[in-house]
Amino acid sequence: MEWSIRLVASASIIVIFLILLFVMREAATLFVSASTTATESTSSSAPSGDLVPESYDPGAADAPSSSEPEVYNPDAEEPATAEPAGEPGAPGQFIYASKNPKYPEIYNPDTGLLPADIDDVESEAETPDTLARQNVLTKLAGDSWQPVGEVPKFGLAPLLIGTAKTTIIAILIGAPLGILAALYVAFFAKRRVREFVKPAIELLAGFPSVVIGFFCLVTVASFIQDLTGVQYRLNAVVGGIGLSLAVIPIVFSIAEDALSAVPKTLREASLALGSTEWQTAYRVMLPAAAPGVFAAVLLGIGRAFGETMIAIMATGNAPLSSLSPLEPARTVAATIGSEMGEVVWGSEHYGVLFFMGVILFVFSFSLNAVTELYVKKRLIKKFQGQ
Amino acid sequence: MAKDLPLKIEAHDFSFYYGAKQALHSITLGIPERRVTAFIGPSGCGKSTFLRSINRMNDLIDGTKTDGHMVVDGVDVYSKDIDVVTLRRRIGMVFQKSIPFPKSIYENITYGLTLNERPSKSDLDSIVESCLRRSALWDEVKDRLHHSALGLSGGQQQRLCIARAVAINPDILLMDEPCSALDPISTGKVEELITELKDTYTIVLVTHNMQQAARVSDFTGFFLMGSLIEFDRTRSIFTSPSKKETEDYITGRFG
């Protein structure tokens, strides 16, 4: 009996570890095997940026090769990289070519008018490993997210800003409401009210997030728009409210458990000193339950930035780098959720999505670690004496 | 029973019910001012219930009901217009288990003082010192006032709880078996403290320890099955009890 429990427990830990390993391995293709990534992306039709400078290599221009005509012919070249499967003469090539009339002018090796960044890429092209690595890092550090554009941009900044915006709004709304509700149910509510309210809110924790997302999409968005007259119907505030609906039950449930676990005698002692119920709850019970309440808020944060469906439906899902809460936002989790289904396997985009998964994991892990090691101790010290 | 002493707490036909179960049966007694009054009796006899009825701590239990009158300073504490919070500020309470707040020693003492007003730091400092001195704790904790009260020993914690109750300067101090979890040395210190405090406060003490009742109290009441069997000066109770049940109990024949 005991060995089976041990087996199941270690198996679940191993599974979690393997999932992490898998995510990290998929993300690592971005950084480690640069040459394979490059060839992979060539063969897998991804309109990868580093292909263009290779084709335009001026060295190749001096010594004409078989591929040269393609390189110099703007009509033929563009569809060749963007859509290698397409036959020459397909209507697509003309569209691609006409879309980029500037390319031949800029990259024309005969005139020598090469932009500086292209020069950089060329020099790195001699050592493909560093090329890919620097490329990826500068790409990830960019300020726009357009993964399926002709020149794909993988700047994470808008996504991180969007995640931070919605998470902060969700916690600012959800944590106080959840904690106050927990205080009410734990200390003020009559027994009959408590027996009804507690399971009702906890039921909300198991509420399908798609329903919450739909509710925000339809009702909350209209309400916020009527209230503020804001231009964008779906924005970070609506998304934050939606996420807070997911956060509140978690914060409530755990905070209520922590508050109820504080010995009743403590409450009696405080009341016997002539404090009101509220003073007792706020000044004695809440500090006594501080570690549990803090853990509740942390789990709420984890839920808020990991939540996918509400973020997809209610935030507007537009990767803007705006800090304004009344503009649309897109979270990291929502990006993975909405793009993973369509991404080309093994492509750069695919790697970036997994890399964001690693970011999510590392963030929640370090959040917990920092709390455990540092914040919790200080908090306990502050509220409960040294 | 000395009728000449002014009475602080009077119970008239006071009955108490936990739901349908009657815990106190028409208790009538008067507790004299600035004396130590002890209640003895076997477990479950209602002495703690009576004590907790004085400052209405029993209100916290759902489904309780009272009957008759409990009068403190001439006012019925169960009348409708009484403010329980104000009442409890006048009646300090020390519990069986020492329950310091999970705060520093200093904050434990100042908790009751800072609830409704903001005394200056120097006022607080002097109150903390005098309360800790009165409860004979000052020398032991003066170097770690801002450390957690949970780090104190059991006896120190209980004296801290007494200091905390004294800090809000009540008229009455209710003590519900304050020494039942303490070793003899700590018990001795708490008893000394009680003797010292009785000049200032009306102290009501519930105890299982009859030697303790005999040592520290001026008056003793004997409870049995929710009824007050006998209430008199401690000396008369312990030397010449008028009821047979009392005699049986204090001579250890039952209970």
- Looking up residue A361, the CATH number of its domain turns out to be 1.10.3720.10
Set of chain A residues whose Cβ sits within 8 Å of the Cβ of B178: none
Residue B131 has phi, psi (to 5 degrees) of: -65, -40
Q: Is residue A128 part of a domain?
A: no
Q: B115 and A274: CB-CB below 8 Å?
A: yes
Instruction: State yes or no: pLDDT of A100 exceeds 50.
Output: no
Structure tokens at B11: 């119970």
Q: What is the pLDDT of residue A116?
A: 46
Q: How far apart are CA A258 and CA A186, in angstroms?
A: 9
> Which residues on adjacent β-strands are paired with residue A373?
none
Structure tokens at A290: 């501080």
Instruction: State yes or no: pLDDT of A107 exceeds 60.
Output: no
Closest-CA distance, A255 to chain B, in angstroms, reads: 18
User: Which domain range does residue A196 map to?
Assistant: 156-383
pLDDT above 90 covers a percentage of chain A that reads 35
Closest-CA distance, B115 to chain A, in angstroms, reads: 7
| Secondary structure element (H or E) that encloses residue B30, with its range | strand B21-32
Evaluate whether B53 touches B24 at the Cβ level (below 8 Å).
yes
Give the three-class secondary structure for B148.
Answer: strand
Quick one: average pLDDT of A132-142?
73
Instruction: State yes or no: pLDDT of A47 exceeds 90.
Output: no
Evaluate whether A52 touches A114 at the Cβ level (below 8 Å).
no
Buried b (16+ CB within 10 A) or exposed e, A239-248: bbbbbbbbbb
Residue B15 has phi, psi (to 5 degrees) of: -120, 150
Q: Is A385 on the interface with B (CB under 8 A)?
A: yes
Instruction: State yes or no: pLDDT of A39 exceeds 80.
Output: no
Q: Is residue A104 part of a domain?
A: no
Give the three-class secondary structure for A195.
Answer: helix
Contacts of A278 (CB under 8 A, 6+ apart): none
CA-nearest residue to A268 within chain B is B57
How far CA B36 is from CA of A132, A196, B174, B176, B215, in Å, comes to 87, 46, 10, 13, 10
Set of chain B residues whose Cβ sits within 8 Å of the Cβ of A386: 104, 146-148
Interface mutation target, options B55, B95, B96, B101, chain A, most CBs of A under 10 Å: B101
Considering only residues A179 and A80, tell me which one the structure prediction assigns the higher pLDDT: A179
Q: Is A379 on the interface with B (CB under 8 A)?
A: no
Q: Is residue A347 part of a domain?
A: yes
DSSP structural state of residue B32: E
Q: B101 and A268: CB-CB below 8 Å?
A: no
Q: What is the pLDDT of residue B148?
A: 87
> Which residues on adjacent β-strands are paired with residue B174?
B93, B204
Closest-CA distance, A173 to chain B, in angstroms, reads: 28
Instruction: State yes or no: pLDDT of A381 exceeds 50.
Output: yes
**Which stretch of A26-40, A134-148, B15-29, B138-152 has the lowest confidence by average pLDDT?**
A26-40
Q: Is residue A336 part of a domain?
A: yes
Q: Is A219 on the interface with B (CB under 8 A)?
A: no
Q: What is the pLDDT of residue B189?
A: 85
Buried b (16+ CB within 10 A) or exposed e, B27-62: bebbbbebbbbbbbbeeebbbbbbbbbbbbbbeeee
Q: How far apart are CA B92 and CA B109, in angstroms?
A: 13
Q: What is the sign of the dihedral through the CA atoms of A214, A219, A220 and A224?
A: positive
Quick one: average pLDDT of A139-148?
84
Q: A273 and B165: CB-CB below 8 Å?
A: yes
Q: What is the pLDDT of residue A317?
A: 87
Considering only residues A373 and A48, tell me which one the structure prediction assigns the higher pLDDT: A373
Evaluate whether B86 touches B116 at the Cβ level (below 8 Å).
no
Closest-CA distance, B119 to chain A, in angstroms, reads: 16
Structure tokens at B99: 């329950």
Interface mutation target, options B99, B104, B141, B150, chain A, most CBs of A under 10 Å: B99
Set of chain B residues whose Cβ sits within 8 Å of the Cβ of A379: none
DSSP structural state of residue A343: S
pTM: 0.76
Structure tokens at A163: 């995640």
Q: Is A192 on the interface with B (CB under 8 A)?
A: no
Structure tokens at B112: 């009751």
Average pLDDT, chain A: 77
What is the band of A144 on the pLDDT scale with cuts at 50, 70, 90?
confident
Q: What is the pLDDT of residue A162?
A: 92
Structure tokens at A44: 């897998």
Instruction: State yes or no: pLDDT of A240 exceeds 90.
Output: yes
Q: What is the pLDDT of residue A241?
A: 94
CA-nearest residue to A277 within chain B is B85
Q: Is A7 on the interface with B (CB under 8 A)?
A: no
Q: What is the pLDDT of residue B24?
A: 92
Give the three-class secondary structure for B224.
Answer: strand
Q: Is residue A124 part of a domain?
A: no
Quick one: average pLDDT of A290-306?
89
A103: nearest Cα among A40, A45, A49, A43: A49
Q: B89 and A273: CB-CB below 8 Å?
A: yes
Evaluate whether A128 touches A48 at the Cβ level (below 8 Å).
no
> Could you tell me where the beta strands, DSSP code E, fall in chain A?
145-146, 153-154
- Blockwise average pLDDT, block size 10, chain B, 255 residues: 76 92 91 91 89 90 89 90 90 89 90 87 91 86 89 88 89 90 85 88 90 91 91 90 87 70
If one counts the domains in chain A, the total is: 1
Closest-CA distance, A130 to chain B, in angstroms, reads: 56
In DSSP notation, A215-237 reads HIIIIIHHHHHHHH--S-SS-HH
Q: What is the pLDDT of residue A129?
A: 54
**Which stretch of A33-47, A132-146, A219-233, B189-203 has the lowest confidence by average pLDDT?**
A33-47
Q: What is the pLDDT of residue B2?
A: 53
Give the three-class secondary structure for A314.
Answer: helix
Q: How far apart are CA A59 and CA A61, in angstroms?
A: 5
In DSSP notation, A105-158 reads HHH-TTTT---HHHHHHHHHHTSHHHHHHHHHHHHHTSS-EETTSSS-EE--HH
DSSP structural state of residue B255: -
Distance of CA A114 to the CA centre of its chain: 37
B38: nearest Cα among B248, B247, B179, B244: B179
Amino acid at A367: L
Residue B109 has phi, psi (to 5 degrees) of: -70, -40
Distance of CA B101 to the CA centre of its chain: 19
Structure tokens at B164: 């905390």
Quick one: average pLDDT of A273-287?
91
For the stretch A338-376, pLDDT in tens is 998 888 888 888 889 999 999 998 888 888 888 778 777
Quick one: average pLDDT of A173-184?
95
Evaluate whether B11 touches B71 at the Cβ level (below 8 Å).
yes
Tell the residue number behind the tokens 């609506």, with chain if given: A238
Distance of CA B52 to the CA centre of its chain: 9
Residue B21 has phi, psi (to 5 degrees) of: -85, 125
Structure tokens at B104: 């520093």
Q: How far apart are CA B73 and CA B6, in angstroms?
A: 10
Q: B148 and A265: CB-CB below 8 Å?
A: no
Give the three-class secondary structure for A208.
Answer: coil
Q: Is residue A227 part of a domain?
A: yes
Considering only residues A55 and B134, tell me which one the structure prediction assigns the higher pLDDT: B134
Buried b (16+ CB within 10 A) or exposed e, B228-243: bbbbbebeebbeebee
Q: Is residue A147 part of a domain?
A: no
Q: Is residue A13 part of a domain?
A: no
Residue B248 has phi, psi (to 5 degrees) of: -60, -40
Instruction: State yes or no: pLDDT of A99 exceeds 50.
Output: no
Q: How far apart are CA A319 and CA A338, in angstroms?
A: 12
Contacts of A258 (CB under 8 A, 6+ apart): A289, A291, A292, A293, A295, A296
Nearest beta carbon to residue B168 from set A191, A273, A276: A273
DSSP structural state of residue B6: P
Q: How far apart are CA A210 and CA A214, in angstroms?
A: 6
Set of chain B residues whose Cβ sits within 8 Å of the Cβ of A271: 57, 60, 88
Q: B93 and A272: CB-CB below 8 Å?
A: yes
What is the band of A33 on the pLDDT scale with cuts at 50, 70, 90?
low
Contacts of B114 (CB under 8 A, 6+ apart): B124
pLDDT above 70 covers a percentage of chain A that reads 72
Q: What is the pLDDT of residue A219?
A: 93
Interface of chain B toward chain A, CB-CB under 8 angstroms: 55, 57, 60, 62, 85-86, 88-93, 95, 97, 99, 101-105, 107, 111-112, 115, 146-150, 161, 164-165, 168
ipTM: 0.89
Q: What is the pLDDT of residue B102?
A: 87
Instruction: State yes or no: pLDDT of A207 exceeds 90.
Output: no
